[in-house]
Amino acid sequence: KTIKDAIEYNLLRMNLAKAYFFDMDGVLFDSMPRHAIAWEEVMKQHGLPFTAYDCYINEGRTGESVIREAFQKALGRDATQEEVKTIYAEKSAYYHQLLQTTTPTIPGVADVLQFVKEQGHQIWVVTGSGMRTLLDSLNEVFPSIFQQDQMITAFDVTQGKPHPEPYLKAWERSGLPKEQCLVIENAPLGVRSGKAAGLTVYAVNTGILKREDLLQAGADMVFDSMHELLQFLQQH
Ligand code: CA
């Protein structure tokens, strides 16, 4: 496949898109730096090596599986249920301590949402998050963009990303063919979830990952910022 073919394929996909599935953390809210700080600190306290990059590359996985993998890597054994519970509770508490001010939004995403809305397309939130503080603030932070019945959260699925279930659920409820749905993601596991669901996935690299991390996960296109994505949407 040549670059020209790839661009034509993506233009076709984008022009067809009637429903946009937005991930939340790292796409709408710039919440990842706080998650990274909280994970790094709490893992350190438990003697588990863990970096900000580990946090970004694992984004979207449940806290439990992140903890279990860290135990396997560092100690060569699985974490007990008790350890999982303790560490996850500490991480959540630490994260909430960092929430002295409201979580910032990703620069430029409000303009992307506004543009998609003006085009009359469906706008969905598809997130593995069950963080009420963020979910409940969506309508305040992005007024009249989201609808209650167009959200897939941790409360709607049994299997989180990278499993396709969250995006499959959004697709089913959208009532549209798959070619008319477009996923906007920032994390490799989220990209894999969208691709496993058979959808076109545009990644916006809003964190500290390498472009290759997102391309290897299967992203159809990678943008360096929301501004770049908006320009692409506006030009085509
Ligand atoms: Ca994300």
Per-residue model confidence as pLDDT tens digits over 66-85: 999 999 999 999 999 999 99
pLDDT tens digits along 179-232:
999 999 999 999 999 999 999 999 999 999 999 999 999 999 999 999 999 999
How many angstroms does the Cα of residue 151 sit away from the middle of ligand 1?
15
Rg (C-alpha) for the chain, rounded Å, is 18
Q: Tell me, what amino acid is at 16?
A: L
Q: Residues lining ligand 1 (ion), CB within 5 A?
A: 23, 25-26, 186-187
Q: Which residues pair with 222 in a beta bridge?
A: 203
Residue 1 — very low, low, confident or very high, per pLDDT cuts 50/70/90?
low
pLDDT tens digits along 129-188:
887 878 889 999 999 999 999 999 989 999 988 999 999 999 999 999 999 999 999 999
Q: What angle do CA 173, 190, 153 make, to 5 degrees?
A: 45
Residue 87 — very low, low, confident or very high, per pLDDT cuts 50/70/90?
very high
How many angstroms does the Cα of residue 128 sit away from the middle of ligand 1?
9
- Shortest CA distance to 216 belongs to which of 154, 165, 162, 178? 162
Token look-up 């439990």 returns: 64
Q: In the prediction, which pLDDT does 132 show? A: 81
How many angstroms does the Cα of residue 133 sit away from the middle of ligand 1?
16
Residue 5 has pLDDT above 80, yes or no: no
